A and B are shown apart, each in its own frame.
Chain A
Amino acid sequence: MEKQKYERPHILRLETGMPGKFGMRNEPAPTTHIDGMAVSELAEKYGSPLFVLSEKTIRSVYRQAYKAFSTRYPKVQFAWSYKTNYLSAVCNIFHQEGSWAEVVSGFEYDKALANGVDPKKIIFNGPAKTREELLLATNNESLIHIDHLDELYLLIEVAEHADHRPRVAIRVNMDTGIYPMWDRFGFNYENGQAWDALNKIMHSGKLDLMGLHTHIGTFIMSANAYAVAATKLAELARLLQVKFNHKLKYIDLGGGFASKNTLKGSYLPGSDTNPSFNDYAEAISSALINSHFAPGELPMLILETGRALIDEAGYIISSVIANKRMSTGRRATIIDAGVNLLFTSFWYQHSITVAQGTSQYREDTSLYGPLCMNIDCIRDSINLPLLNPGDHLVIHQTGAYNLTQWMQFIHLRPKVVMIDEMGDAHIVRENEEMESITGLEKLPGHLSSIKA
């Protein structure tokens, strides 16, 4: 006789008079497949943990965002924020969809060039560009966004020796009503620094002022903050037109749109509460259209949206290593993906689902990663079915920042696969091996052996 399927024993005390927070129980369905591929097969073939990216989702989210803006504003241009996820396979999807590149270091700049991006369509942000990098970007006619006065003067110097005039914008910081105010990057609007820098650029006669840039923060839950930002940049554009008869080519409102993730400590899921692309697009387009710009003279609107475009397309497949009972009686489950792979678990309450059908029994569990470190907690408290070692879990919305800020710490990093629109999986980054780490090390002669 075939033996029965085993589930570990479980008993739960029923609390009376204590309904759930909103009287609802939202029980996510198991994620048995990602874009048609069985999670268990992916784990078997490529190993666990495993990063999985959905090309279909990347393209469809991008198209939703583009449509939200292009139906409301005549000239819209996205520039893919490399730091959010600079796997070349990911960048090239965005470039195929029409995105420019937004980079913040020489490394990212070179990566965009290597991906074949037209240098004129690379936006070079960041507070730490070197003289060599500025010269290269100038000669390539890339768009250089000036962060501070030292950079402005350096660029005027660089311009003397360059083949082309630098094409520039300044980064502006401002009060948009959100807290904390990001005033560390760029020139301040309210205290006149930004206007001062624009005057210096115009009077230098050495730089081509193309646009204005701001990045007001990240995961901004208020669409109206963007309306404030757009209005302030439009005002600077008006002053330039009045004083210098200079027309700007673009206004770049940076990134910062919230993805559908849920921030830690939120009661309601982010998919219900966060503004949509339509909300942001409505706020921004109205602010620009209602400003002084004459019809037909609206500047191009550039957006450097990062997390909102890629979070949803990323998954981590992970496996249960062990179940434990803490001294307090709490259940704890250890899985093979920790904060080494999931940097964003410090801010997000990632949705986590099982990859196989289960009974209806649930247990309040703490979910820990495999690092031998107290910080390695993926979820303090999550209601999970009764899992056995070897069972798979799927961590959702992991596409932004994790594949750039993950760390090789204690464990080697796993493979990344992308499922294409036909449903076929491709390895887009190999797993690390011992050689990936030790290959960079050098042993001084007297330490090459442990014999004293």
Chain B
Amino acid sequence: MKINPNLAVSESGFLFNPGTGESFTVNPTGAEIIRLLREGLSLEQVIDAFTEQFQVDRHTFEKDLHDFSGILKTYNLLEKDE
């Protein structure tokens, strides 16, 4: 899964899609997921990284990540061919 490379993401969790002119706010957890995906990590690797770094079990995070990536998709924030 790849994030649309044209997105502008600010430190404070502000996201801008120059393609559509839409902006978004994202919380730190969401921003971290987007950052890792942009670095090219696979979903599996994101899960590993998160359970390592945060107080969350694999099961809960997998479910939340699945939900979050679904929303990224509806907001057209993933690469076109995805």
Contact = CB atoms under 8 A, between A and B. Distances in A.
Contacts of A386: 27
Contacts of B53: 3-4
A14 B25 CA distance: 7
A11 B55 contact: no
A361 interface: yes
A14 B53 CA distance: 29
A325 B56 contact: no
B34 to A, nearest CB: 8
A359 interface: yes
B26 A10 contact: yes
A11 B24 contact: yes
A205 interface: no
B29 A11 contact: no
B49 to A, nearest CB: 12
Given A11-B30, A11-B71, A329-B71, A4 B24 contact: no
A9 B30 contact: yes
A10 B29 contact: yes
Contact of B54 (A4, A329, A359): A4
B24 A13 contact: yes
Contacts of B67: 325
B72 A11 contact: yes
Contacts of A14: 22-25
A13 to B, nearest CB: 5
B47 interface: no
Given A7-B27, A8-B29, A361-B27, A13 B75 contact: yes
B64 interface: yes
Contacts of B54: 3-6
Contacts of A3: 52-55
Nearest to B77: A11
Contact of B33 (A5, A9, A329, A361): A9
Contacts of A5: 54-55
A3 B23 CA distance: 31
Contacts of A359: 27-28
Contacts of B52: 3
Interface size classification for chain B = 20 to 34
Contacts of A388: 60
Main secondary structure of the interface of B (DSSP, over half): helix
B65 interface: yes
B29 A9 contact: yes
Nearest to A2: B55
Given A14-B23, A325-B70, A386-B27, A9 B55 contact: no
Interface string A356-390: 00010100000000000000000000000010110
Interface string B1-34: 0000000000000010000001111111110010
Interface in A1-46: 3-14
A13 B23 CA distance: 6
B5 to A, nearest CB: 18
A314 to B, nearest CB: 33
A358 to B, nearest CB: 10
A319 B46 CA distance: 29
Given A5-B55, A325-B70, A329-B74, A11 B15 contact: yes
A208 B27 CA distance: 72
A6 B68 contact: no
Interface string A379-407: 00000001011000000000000000000
Nearest to A11: B26
A101 B55 CA distance: 54
Nearest to A14: B23
B71 to A, nearest CB: 6
18 contacts: A3-B52, A5-B54, A6-B56, A9-B33, A10-B26, A10-B30, A11-B15, A11-B24, A11-B27, A11-B68, A12-B25, A13-B22, A14-B22, A329-B71, A329-B74, A361-B27, A386-B27, A389-B60
Given A3-B52, A4-B53, A9-B29, 9 more contacts: A10-B68, A11-B25, A11-B68, A11-B72, A12-B26, A13-B24, A329-B74, A359-B27, A359-B28
